[in-house]
Amino acid sequence: MDGSFKLTPESLKQICKDHKLYTSCPELNDVLYLQCKGIEVLENLEAYTGLKTLYLESNDISAIQGLDALVNLRSLYLGKNIIQRICGLEALVQLETLDLSDNRISTVEGLSQLQRLRTLVLANNQLATAADIQQLEQCSSLVTLDLSGNKLCEPAALTLLAGLQLALLKLQGNPLVSLVKHYRKVVVSSMPQLNYLDDAPVADQDRRLAAAFMQGGIPAEAAERQAIRSEAAAAAQQQRNNFDAMVAAARAAPAPPHDPMRFRAVPPGESDSDDEGLPASYIAQKHA
């Protein structure tokens, strides 16, 4: 630890100065950049009560501590450290984004107080069983979850995840992706609100095909695919019909002919006659 970067009031003040942040009033800062410093211990952050975003990636942090005063924190980035347990977050009830990727976490815990948590990144950790991620059921606001690159191998984990109202889920790099037959169809059919799975979006068509496959296998999926094609063709034909009807209506009731003089403005007191101001002899000859 002797050679590590220590968080002291002086070093924090210097970091704020380097990033053109507030130095004399640390509570006014809403962001603090502490990534890639070699930090081992989180300390002396009590004065930074206004922080909403804290970057702590790529350090040597082994324990989450010293953050209780940061009650306004919305986003906390702790990826690429050596954290083994999720703890010390109980006071951060405003937290919405938590990144703990590339650590050594083997169990999801310590999140039950974070009822506003919407995005959780736990990629490349040591999660292996359904029991390891069971506390995710207590994260009622979670919509984005990244569990890629872990060791999840139990199909029961998919059953647990299906109970969450996720819009984005990443599971690639886990053994269960190859162990579960028809993995993508199983996940998409069990999570109708999902918009993104792993590295590909989930469209309404994907949901319909997955549901059909789960109910009746390949024949049902093929029938549903044909139904989708028929619906698309019918919608396209309806658009053509609507356009043709619009053209026919326009031809049946054509617009009045264009009058280039209909917007001509005549100043008050002036005649709108084209002969205004012309010599009398010219006017007589013009109308002869």
Q: Is the dihedral of CA 192, 194, 200, 201 positive or negative?
A: positive
Query: How far apart are alpha carbons 188 and 209 in whole angstroms?
Result: 9
In a domain? residue 258: no
On whether the CB atoms of residues 122 and 150 are closer than 8 A, the answer is: yes
In a domain? residue 242: no
Question: Is the pTM above the cut of 0.75?
Answer: yes
CATH of the domain at 173: 3.80.10.10
In a domain? residue 273: no
Domain count across the chain: 1
In a domain? residue 132: yes
Phi, psi values for residue 227, rounded to 5°: -65, -40
In a domain? residue 278: no
Q: Is the pLDDT of residue 233 over 90?
A: no
On whether the CB atoms of residues 88 and 78 are closer than 8 A, the answer is: no
Band (pLDDT 50/70/90 cuts) for residue 278 is low
Q: What is the pLDDT of residue 248?
A: 86
* Averaged pLDDT for residues 118-133: 98
In 3D, which of 150, 227, 138, 212 has the Cα closest to residue 182? Answer: 212
Q: What is the pLDDT of residue 271?
A: 57
Give the domain extent around 58.
Answer: 9-223
Tokens linked to 63: 């324990």
Which residues are within 8 A (CB) of 207 and not within 5 positions of it... i.e. 6 or more apart? Answer: 188, 189, 192
Q: State the chain's mean pLDDT as an integer.
A: 90
Lowest-pLDDT range, 180-184, 246-250, 252-256?
252-256
Query: How far apart are alpha carbons 211 and 193 in whole angstroms?
Result: 13
In a domain? residue 243: no
On whether the CB atoms of residues 226 and 233 are closer than 8 A, the answer is: no
Query: How far apart are alpha carbons 59 and 198 in whole angstroms?
Result: 27
Per-residue pLDDT tens digits for 63-88: 999 999 999 999 999 999 999 999 99
User: Per residue, what are the HEC states of 111-171?
Assistant: CCCCCCCCEEECCCCCCCCCHHHHHHHHCCCCCEEECCCCCCCCCHHHHHHHCCCCCEEEC
Lowest-pLDDT range, 20-34, 81-95, 244-258?
244-258
In a domain? residue 36: yes
Which residues are within 8 A (CB) of 26 and not within 5 positions of it... i.e. 6 or more apart? Answer: 12, 13, 16, 47, 48
Tokens linked to 187: 């996940």
Q: Is the pLDDT of residue 268 over 80?
A: no
In a domain? residue 61: yes
Per-residue pLDDT tens digits for 197-218: 999 999 999 998 898 888 888 8
